[in-house]
Amino acid sequence: MIKAIIFDLGGTLIQVEKKVGKTYETLPYAVGVLTQLKKKFKLALITNVRPTVTVERVHEVLREAALFDFFDEIIVSSGVGYDKPAEQIFQIVLEKLNVKPEEAVMVGNTISTDVFGGNRMGMKTVLIQLGQEYQKSDWEKPDHIIHSLKELANQCK
């Protein structure tokens, strides 16, 4: 039984490097989907950032995008010393959420970090592919591929 859903940030919940005025632009349906999922699951975020980007800055971005309050745990690579796909960063979030790998789903937009790391830990994985940028991999496959966060909400009812 799934107890937790873990998200990547850039390209999964917010547009990569896209700021509109003073706020970051979320992907379509992000707030509605997180609102729905929060009622049923623990939610967490794991994000890789440059070493100079602080945990506080990531929190600011999440607040600007109106996403911060959805998450039970927020794990930032610069704050823990590991980047996805390292097992350690996934282990940290699983321990903080108090769930086993098979009770969690990793949702992200990159095969080499999100899908590979989640698969290696024994988590279910969901690859979000927007528009025409479909990624294929002969060496790593997600459990599901979605093209909108709305599809994730429909699968998790």
> For the domain bounded by 4-101+117-124, which CATH number is listed?
3.40.50.1000
pLDDT (mean) for 68-85: 97
Rounded to whole angstroms, the Cα distance separating 45 from 38 reads 13
pLDDT at site 154: 79
Q: What whole-number distance in Å separates Cα of residue 24 and Cα of residue 37?
A: 21
Mean pLDDT of 94-115: 96
Q: What is the mean pLDDT of residues 36-57?
A: 95
Question: Would you place residue 140 in the very low, low, confident or very high pLDDT band (cuts 50, 70, 90)?
Answer: confident
Predicted TM-score (pTM) of the model is 0.93
- How much of the chain is in helix, strand and coil states, percent to nearest 5? 35, 25, 40
Domain boundaries, the chain: 4-101+117-124
DSSP 80-148: HT--TT-HHHHHHHHHHHT--GGGEEEEES-IIIIIHHHHHHT-EEEEE--TT-----SS---SEEESS
